[in-house]
Structure 1
Amino acid sequence: MRVRTSTGVRATDFYGHFFMSNTTDVELAAVDADKAIGVEIKHDDKLTSEDGVYIQVALLYTHRSGQRRLRVLNLALAVAHQLADVYRSAELDVLVNFLTKQAVWASRETPPRAIRDGLTGRCARSLAAYRRHCASPSSVGQLVLPDTARSRPTWVCPLCTRTPACCRSTRCRTSSPRRCERDWVRDVFGVDGPHALDTSVTELPARDNDTSEAVRDLQVVLQGEKAEGAFRKLLLEDRGCDGTVSYIEYLMEIHKTVQKMIASYVDFLCHVHKEIRDLL
């Protein structure tokens, strides 16, 4: 697969499961409708609304029938001269998908803490730029969000929250997944493995171990049942298993970061204004 662009923009980075022997050709073992590749395109020259921006993706592949085929996708984009137009036409699902691919790609060499800080910083800078250049004047203590990205912190927060799989059985932490599966089945059902399960059993047997007691304490509440109200009262925004902040705390962190960025920008403008007055 190769990505071509018009003058003024270029493809700089690719994110996904593939191999690249050079800086332009993306090689994939297989491709279907569920595959997605993130491509970062940067502009390094002046763009005009008359010329626009054009992107072409060409995919050369072998069909399962053995026939060689070439699929070409063309995309024409308008050039926005106002930052507000960029925010207005932004697609949140595409942004989150792209940030996710970047985070997964960076996890090969970057510590999780640095990835979380990077995602939070990008989210805060985006919101600060919107408030600085696009939003109408409002209270400093108000968190202003663009209409097309109101739920962006909602999506970025889970990306920053690692939720490692926690197993109550100590043996599961030190053994292989297959051994863990056998141990869990034996503790809960009292049989040697999944192959020995009796599918006609509709109730879990009471066994004297921590795993069995934890599983038997689970309750299923269907939507619309009387117990749904009591179940909803038990739900709360909790921290991650590794100590990461909850959504409310994360939103407060984003808000404080945006406020600091706005304050720094205002201080910079005041300093520039003072320098100009001194020169005059």
Structure 2
Amino acid sequence: MTPRRALAATVLMLASGCAVQHAPSDARSDAAPAPATGVTRDLLSLPPPSGKVTVAVYGIRDQTGQYKPAPDSSFSTAVTQGASSLLVKALKQSGWFLPVERENLQDLLTERKIVRALEMPQPAGTPAVQIPPLIAASVLIEGGIIAYESNVRTGGAGARFLGIGLTTQYRVDQVTVNLRSVDIRGGQILQSVSTTKTIYSYEIHPSIFKFVNVKDLLELEGGMTRNEPTQLCVNEAIESGVAHLIVQGIRDGNWALKDPASWSHPVLQRYAAEGDTRYTVQKAAL
């Protein structure tokens, strides 16, 4: 075997060995809590309220009408259908709201009927079964996933020199969530916010295409893609909406801080500044 052929064989063996030892992803991994976003940490660091607000969430619907691209476009939607669960989690994590079960209220009522059935005459000395009344909500949280735009921005770049090259491609999608708080006493809408989160996807593709001698050709290719999970982006947009609802509610006097001096908290001030910027931009556009 000539030295050039030996070199090519060695390169191929090393490449195959690396591919076996360093798999692109683990074949198996243990379950773990969903990763926290920057907005999650903001919610957990909010200053405490003077009192938690009891809220009800009946359903946050997917109003985009978008499906994944073919071939599975007829079976799978582009965004998660579990936005209500994500909203309840964000409300609970903020420490400002006390969510009550409403989406599966019938299941709760069935269980309460079973408990009441146990209150039938029991043998003497049996302690009575006590069940407290349901808690009524003072605020209703409504809204939905109102937009999902794919290929908002696409692009790429590449270069090749003497058979050695590298190409990259990227794509930007966008999801928008709207949340509003409603006073159940008169149906008045207290706050309404829309938050947008971009979804990034990119691909890196290095390659080598080179003759090691007149007759022998060496060709190596690799690649890596990274797609930001859509459900995590929806979750972050919902959490951001909850943070803006809290800040707007404090400013409008719908709920209050335990310590009024906490209004200078950097997290509150940052979201307040974002809200002011958006309002200023809207006024300027008009």
TM-score, scaled relative to structure 2: 0.20
Select the structure of larger CA radius of gyration.
2
The TM-score with structure 1 as length reference comes to 0.20
* Larger relative contact order, structure 1 or 2 (CA cutoff 8 Å, min sep 6): 2
